[in-house]
Structure 1
C-alpha cells in the first residue's frame, strides 16, 4: 500500500471536522423613519455623569479609608439643607436622609448609613468609597466617592427600591424591583474616564427565576376489566408412583 493510500485510509476517524448544519443569513439592521431628525436634548435629566465635591471632608494622604462615611453623608445633607438650588444629582436621595443622629450611638441600630465598602472602581490602583444609605419607603441610596486634587468628590449617586448591590470587576451592579411582577431592573455602573464619573452603562429588565412547571396529575395503574381478567390456573399435582 502506498503512502497516499495510507493517508486516505486514515480519513474518517473520530475527531474530523463535521458540519454544524446550516447557519442563518446575517441581516443588517433596518433603520425606521430615516428622515426623522435626531433629538437635540435628553428628555429627562437623571444626574448621570455629574460629580460634586464634598466640602469640609479631608483625609491625611488622601487616604479614602480614613474618611468617616457618616461625616460625608452629614456634610452633604447640611449642604442640601442650606442650598436654595436642588441637588446636582436629584436621584441620589439627597435631602431625604433621616436618623443621622442615631449614628455613633451604642444602640444606633436605626443609623441609615450602612457599612462602607472599598474597591478600585476607576482603575488607578486606589480604592474608592462605596456608601449605602437607607431612605424612607424602603429606598436605598448608593454613592461612590474618590479623592481628586485633594478634594473628596462624589462620582456616583443613585437611589431605588434596591434588591441587592454587587461588585463585578470594577462595576457596581444594582438590582431593583420592577413594575412587572416576576421581573427586576438591573443596572451596571461603570467608570468613564472621559466624564470622570460612574455612568449607567447597562440598564436592562430581566425575568427572574424559571417559570413554574406544571406537575402532571398522578397516574393510577388501570385495573383490568372483569371480562378481560385472565383466570388463574389451578396448579396440577403429578401423582406419585405407588409404593411397593
Structure 2
C-alpha cells in the first residue's frame, strides 16, 4: 500500500493563537461598548457653597492719609481773593504773599513762610513752566517743612486776572519734580525705591495721568491734593 507523503503543520498553532487573540479583543471591545450606560454611584456628597468675605467691622471706614485725596472735577480749589494778575503774569506776584493769603493751604504753610526770607525759610526758588499747553507759564512752588518732615509742591494758574491752585501735593521731605512736555512728574526717593506720579492738565486741574500705576518707578502714594497735614514720623528711613 502506497504511503502518503507526510505534511508538517508547524505554522498552524500560531495561526490559531492569533485568531483566538483577535476574537478575545473583539469580545472585550463589545463588552466595553455595552457598558456605557448610566450607573448608580450611590449618594452624592453634599455641595458646599464657595467661601465669601465677611468683614469684621463692616461699618468702619479707615481715614485717608494726607495726600491721598484725588484732584479732579469734584475737587475745586478756591480763587485767591486780593491777588490780581497783571500784565506781567504770575512772575510779578511774590510767592510768599501768595501763600500767606491762599485759603487752600493750611496754617502750617502760613506759619512756615513767616521765616522767609532767612536761613530758616523752606521756600525753594519758584519755577515757571507751561503745564496746560496754552503758551502761558504756570507757577510751581515748593516748600520744605523739616518739622513736619513734609514737602509741599503747589501749582498756580492764572485765570484772567485771578489766580488759584491747580495742584496741591504733599509728599515726604525732599519731594522734587521735573517736566516732560506739558506733564509734571513728582518724585521722592526712600529705602523702598523711587516713587513717581505724572500729572496732566484735564482742563480744570492737574490730575494723575497713570494713577497708582507702575512704569519702572512706583507711583508716589502721597501725591495729590491734600487736607491740612500734621507732623508725622517718616516711614521711608
What's the TM-score, normalizing by structure 2? 0.54
Match 1:171 to one of 183, 188, 194? 183
**Counterpart in the other structure of 1:70:** 96
Q: CA RMSD in A?
A: 2.5
1:155 aligns with 2:166: yes
**Counterpart in the other structure of 2:69:** 46
Answer with 1 or 2: which has the greater Rg.
2
**Counterpart in the other structure of 2:140:** 130
Cα distance, 1:99 vs structure 2:
3.0
- The separation in 1 between residues aligned to 2:192 and 2:70, in whole angstroms, is 29
Unaligned runs of at least 5 residues, structure 1? 1-42, 80-86, 88-92, 209-244
Alignment of 1:25-64 (within 5 A): 46-49=69-72, 50=75, 51-61=77-87, 63-64=89-90
| 1:48–1:150 distance in 2 versus 1, CA, 3 Å | same
1:99 aligns with 2:112: yes
Say if 2:186 and 2:196, in contact at 8 Å, map to a contact too: yes
| 1:132–1:177 distance in 2 versus 1, CA, 3 Å | same
**Counterpart in the other structure of 2:198:** 188
Matched position secondary structure for 1:52: coil
Asked which structure has the greater RCO (Cα within 8 Å, sep 6+), the reply is 2
- The separation in 1 between residues aligned to 2:213 and 2:136, in whole angstroms, is 30
Number of aligned residue pairs? 145
Say if 1:182 and 1:207, in contact at 8 Å, map to a contact too: no
Unaligned runs of at least 5 residues, structure 2? 1-62, 219-237
CA offset digits 1:95-144 (Å, max 9, x no partner)? 3223322213xxx0211221100011111111110000112332111111
